[in-house]
Amino acid sequence: MFYLLALLIGIFSGFRTLTPITAVSWAARAGRLHLEGTWLSFLGAAISPYIFSVLALTELVTDKLPKTPSRKSPPQFISRVVMGAVAGAAIGASNQNLIAGLLLGAVGAVIGTLGGAEVRGRLARAFGRDLPAALIEDAVTIIGAFLVAFQNS
């Protein structure tokens, strides 16, 4: 089951870079992800979910700005894959399989980045503008990432 969860958290990282790692950090802090003794234990530190939450909220706002670069440009693409890999690694580590989680999170982020761009583009064309499509993507990412992160226990 954790294989699917790691892949899904990566896919959500392809939609929004920081929302899934925020969900993972909250889950770790709540004791739902067990990262003690791993290099990912910092995700469960008292301050971590708050820092990630501020960063994720900032991303949700800046994503709607007209000058925000495409998620497929190299810096944005790479950051999504890295954060997907870290979030997937946390899911994996909590299930004693950090490497598989890391790899699945990275693969999921590639799928989410490319697929998310395509779906959002189609939705934006259907709506005649991007904002409704972006808000739907936000909602799917927030709900999905938190369901995945907290399902892992």
Residues 67-113: tens digit of each pLDDT: 999 999 999 999 999 999 999 999 999 999 999 999 999 999 999 99
pTM, entire model: 0.95
Which residue is listed with tokens 């699917």?
Answer: 4
Cα–Cα distances (Å) from 109 to 17, 44, 65, 112, in that order, read 9, 22, 22, 5
Mean pLDDT of the chain, nearest integer: 96
Residues 29-48: tens digit of each pLDDT: 999 999 999 999 999 999 99
